Amino acid sequence: MSLTKLLIIWPGSPIISMLIWIVVMVVLLYLARTPAHRAIYSLARVFHNGFRLMSRSVMLAEQKLVQRNKEVLLSAGIESVERLIEREFHRVNSVVKRDLSGYPTLHRALSDQATKIDEDYRESSETPPPPPAWVSAVEAVANIPSQGDGTVANILSEIQKTSVGQYKSTMEEYRKSVGERHNLLKKMMPYWRRMAQTLEQVGKTITGLHERANVIDNRMAEYEGIRDKTDKAARMLTASSLTQFFISGFVLLIAIGGAVINFNLIALPMSEMVGGGSYIGSFKTANVAAMVIILVEVAMGLYLMESLRITRLFPIIGHMDDKMRTRMIWITFSILLVLASVEAALAYMRDQIAADIQALRQSLAAVEATGIAINSWIPTVGQMVMGFVLPFALTFVAIPLESFVHSSRTVIGVAGTAVLRWLAFFFRLLGNVSRYLGELMVNIYDLFIFPPLWVENLIRDKRRHRPEIIVEEEAS
Amino acid sequence: MKKYLALALIIFSAFLWGCPNTTSYSRGVYMLLDTSGTYKKELKRAEAIISYLLGTLQPGDSLAVARIDSGSFSEKDIVAKMTFDKRPSVANQQKRLFKQKIDDFVRTAKGSAYTDITGGVLQSVEFLNEAGAGQKYILIFSDLKEDLVKGQVRDFPIQVDGCNVVALNVTKLRSDNVDPRDYYQRVEEWRSRVEAGGGTWRVVNDLERLENIFQG
């Protein structure tokens, strides 16, 4: 007996059977209304709470990530500002070493110049004229009345002559001494100039130091801001990191372009060394070898930059003592030099192989070489120079790489935060949707059983109105 | 500790260096030349195809050219065969030598009354397998009509597993003009024989587009 036959209650009339079934179902659903509503609400609440919990967890993770990002950012900022302050102190140190280390000598020179000037000044001081004590005696003699005495007149005349002569010789001596004093003062002029220059130089140095001190003050203020973990400092560092990320990414792309050109320059001649038909995996051994050479060059460049303390990607190199670091510099530079020379040789070989292949193709096509011959040494030399220079150029990849690595931490952190925030929002949305979905399901449930619900409401209304009618009857 | 580390590094390097990929990426090409009847006049075209092959094949690839004009195909029918050196400069020298041999052959080739394509295909499969080529190509420069010595049997299935068989410059015979169905039937017979033998079949008649040989 099939299920269809089982469902037909009224034989010969499926519509009536169906109606009976509907009535039965509606009655059953009406009877099960309260527990069904509870079940639907419970299910909706489970989903709602579950999604809200997930959203909360994600938000907590986001907050932790934000905190972590801030810490990383501030730590990087502190390191960066420390480096800048350290550099400023190095500059101050070098200025002090260069200019102020000779201060004792300078002081002595200034002291000597001052002594010399002092001596000259003293020598150039005006000598007072001889005391005029005899002038009153001369006046007394001059007042003696001559009374026509020729002797007295002669004496007085002699006295006058003598005093005039004396006056002349005194004046001459005075002029001479004044001239000497002027000469001495003239001699003092270069000393004054020299002293002025020396003092000007000292002034410049002091001004430079003052400017440096201002820079250090600004950096220190920045440093304190970061140490205090202010939001302003964090925002500034984030903006700076994003800028660094894009700039360093752009420079790295340029470097990758250089590496690709370098690769093409040495891949063909490498096949002459390692064979053109051998493979490692699905890659030609010659290509892999060329790539390895380029990567080794980049690695050597990184070590060189680390040893020079330009970058700080490998702390172990930075912590080496100066002697070891110097050794490291020379070793990495030597390896780079050797690799650059090898590349130049490979570039030359590439030119030779390319010319040979070209000649073979021409002979196979039975075509004679025609046209104006271009100076063949120009591309050859160009390729060799490129082969030699590119390894050294790749050395400087270390600088943008360091910036990229450091800034990518911040960028990844910011992106992760954004993703987590969206995820939290999405879970919250799902939670709310599931809650309202539960309500919707309850309403739909009620829609299926609206006839008994309508009857129920009718009966309830009647019961509610009945006491009012009784009260009205009693009142009348 | 450092010694052990260095030793491990050396062993690892040796392991990497000493375990090359066993998959062969080299190409092996065996070209069969039909010099019978009117096809002797087509040898200049065949020479152009060989020049294209020499210009295209890379160091480490193999190339052989053989004629199919004897009653029964054998080693003496091979005009030139070579596996190019892995160094490009040496491979270029080998290609020049190969070209010289082909030029000499084209200059001195004589027409033949017989065409044993099946025998040539069997020999080429052996050569390509021995050369260890990763991609195997058998090029048949012929009208695909076999002229065998009386009593020779060649209508048996051939094994060309993994081989790309390319028919080049399949010209129509005078009898084909009378009934073109003969031409299509010949091509179809060879297709079914090759595909039944585990190979792929292609016809390249436009010699301006020789790059189609290595496609597909």
The whole-angstrom separation of Cα A408 and Cα B5 is 33
CA B119/CA A229 separation, integer angstroms: 87
Q: Do A279 and B88 touch (CB under 8 A)?
A: no
Structure tokens at B67: 């004629």
Sign of the alpha-carbon dihedral angle for A33, A35, A41, A43: negative
Which residues span the domain enclosing B142? 25-211
- For chain B, say whether A271 makes contact (Cβ under 8 Å): yes
Kindly state the tokens that stand for A392.
């050294």
Most confident of A81-85, A190-194, A440-444, B132-136: A440-444
- Whether B143 maps to a domain, the answer reads yes
With H, G, I as helix, E, B as strand and everything else as coil, classify residue B139.
strand
pLDDT of residue B18: 54
Contact call for A278 and B96, based on CB within 8 A: no
Mean pLDDT of chain A: 85
Q: How many helices (H) and strands (E) does chain B have?
A: 6, 6
Whose CA is closest to B165, among B210, B206, B124? B124
Q: Which residues pair with B166 in a beta bridge?
A: B139, B202
Task: Write down the pLDDT at residue B2.
Answer: 52
Lowest mean pLDDT: which of A136-150, A402-416, B42-56, B135-149?
A136-150
How far is the C-alpha of A91 from the C-alpha of A357, rounded, in Å? 58
DSSP per residue, A104-138: HHHHHHHHHHHHHHHHHHHHTSPPPPPPTTHHHHH
Phi/psi region, residue B91 (left: phi>0; alpha: psi -120 to 50; beta: rest), is alpha
**B4 falls within a domain:** no
Q: How many CA atoms lie within 13 A of B128 on its CB side?
A: 27
In the prediction, which pLDDT does B173 show?
67
Instruction: Give Dmax (Cα) for chain B.
Output: 86
Residue B43, domain member (yes or no): yes
Instruction: Give tens-digit pLDDT for A452-475.
Output: 999 989 998 888 877 666 666 666
Measured CA to CA, the distance from residue A386 to residue B189 in angstroms comes to 58
Domain ranges of chain A: 13-72+422-475, 102-227, 235-365+376-396
- Strands of the sheet containing B78-83, edge to edge, are B78-83, B62-67, B27-33, B135-141, B163-168, B200-204
Residue A356's beta-bridge partner residues? none
Cα distance between residue A208 and residue A214, in whole Å: 10
Task: State the CATH number of the domain containing residue B80.
Answer: 3.40.50.410
- pLDDT more than 90, % of chain A: 35
B51 touching chain A per CB within 8 A: yes
Q: Tell me: pLDDT of A248 over 80.
A: yes
Query: CB of B216 within 8 Å of any CB in chain A?
Result: no
CA count, 13 A, side-chain hemisphere, A324: 7
Comparing A274-288, A318-332, A396-410, the range with the smallest average pLDDT is: A274-288
Tell me how far apart the alpha carbons of residues A264 and A256 are, in angstroms, rounded to a whole number. 12
Burial zone of A445 (CB within 10 Å; 0-12 exposed, 13-18 middle, 19+ buried): middle
Predicted-complex ipTM score: 0.72
What CA–CA distance (Å, rounded) separates B162 from A110?
A: 98
- Burial group, residue A256, by CB count within 10 angstroms (0-12, 13-18, 19+): exposed
> If you search the block for the tokens 């000649």, which residue do you land on?
A359
- Amino acid A90 reads H
What tokens appear for B215 in the block?
């496609």
Mean pLDDT in consecutive groups of 10 residues from the start of chain B, 216 residues: 57 56 79 79 84 89 85 75 89 91 85 79 88 88 77 77 86 69 84 90 83 77
- The closest CB to that of B86, out of A278, A352, A365, belongs to A278
Tokens of A376: 């063949």
Q: Which uninterrupted H or E stretch holds B32?
A: strand B27-33
Tokens representing B112 are 């033949």
Q: b or e along A86-109 (b: 16 or more beta carbons within 10 Å of the residue's beta carbon)? A: eebeeebeebeeebeeeeeebeee
Nearest CB partner across the interface for A364, out of B20, B54, B61: B54
Token output for B110: 């004589």
What contacts A302, CB < 8 A, 6 or more positions away?
Answer: A311, A313, A314, A397, A398, A401
The Cα A310–Cα A305 span in angstroms is 5
- Alpha-carbon span A465 to A248, nearest angstrom: 82
Q: Which of A450, A458, A431 is nearest to A50 (CA)?
A: A431
Tokens of A413: 């952190």
Q: Is B22 on the interface with A (CB under 8 A)?
A: no
The pLDDT value recorded for residue B12 is 58
Residue contact B88–A272, C-beta within 8 A: yes
Chain B contacts of A280, Cβ < 8 Å?
A: 20-21
**What average pLDDT score do residues A290-295 get?**
93
Which of B47, B58, B86 to substitute to test the interface with A, most A CBs within 10 Å? Answer: B86
Question: At residue A28, does pLDDT exceed 90?
Answer: yes
Closest Cβ–Cβ partner in B21, B25, B87 for A272:
B87
Residue that has been written with the tokens 């992760």 in this structure: A416
pLDDT confidence of residue B16: 54
- The confidence score (pLDDT) of residue A171 equals 85
Interface probe for B, chosen from A268, A274, A279 (most Cβ of B below 10 Å), is: A279
Residue B112 confidence (pLDDT): 72
Chain B residues within 8 A of A361 when measuring between CB atoms: 55
Contacts of B82 (CB under 8 A, 6+ apart): B62, B63, B64, B94, B97, B98
pLDDT of residue A395: 92
Mutate to test the interface with A, among B54, B58, B85, B87 (most CBs of A within 10 A): B87
Q: How many domains does chain B have?
A: 1
Structure-token pair, residue A423:
């995820």
Task: Please identify which residue in the block is written with the tokens 């009976």.
Answer: A20
Q: Does A276 touch chain B (CB under 8 A)?
A: yes
Q: How high is the pLDDT of residue B22? A: 59
Q: What pLDDT was estimated at residue A94?
A: 82
**Rounded Cα distance, A232 and A280, in Å:** 53
Distance from CA of A216 to the nearest CA of B (A): 45
Among the ranges given (A155-159, A223-227, A298-302), the one the predictor scored with the smallest mean pLDDT: A155-159
**pLDDT given for residue A148 in this prediction:** 66
- pLDDT by residue (tens digit) across A338-373? 999 999 999 999 888 888 888 888 888 776 655 555
Chain B: give the shortest CA distance to residue A354, in Å: 10
Q: Does residue B14 fall inside a structural domain?
A: no
Q: Is the pLDDT of residue A9 over 80?
A: no
Show the tokens assigned to A150: 């020729």
Tell me the nearest-neighbour CA distance from B171 into chain A, angstroms: 24
Do residue A279 and residue B86 have CB atoms under 8 angstroms apart? no
CA-to-CA distance for B124 and B32, rounded, in angstroms? 8
Q: From the CB of residue A307, how many other CB atoms can be counted at a distance below 10 Å?
A: 23
**Token pair for A85:** 């302050």
Q: By the CB < 8 Å criterion, does B91 face chain A?
A: yes
Task: Tell me if B81 is assigned to some domain.
Answer: yes
Q: A126 Cβ partners below 8 Å, 6+ apart?
A: A177, A178, A181
3-class SS at A148? coil
Q: Which positions in chain A touch B20 (Cβ < 8 Å)?
A: 278-280, 285
Percent helix, strand, coil in chain B (nearest 5)?
45, 20, 35
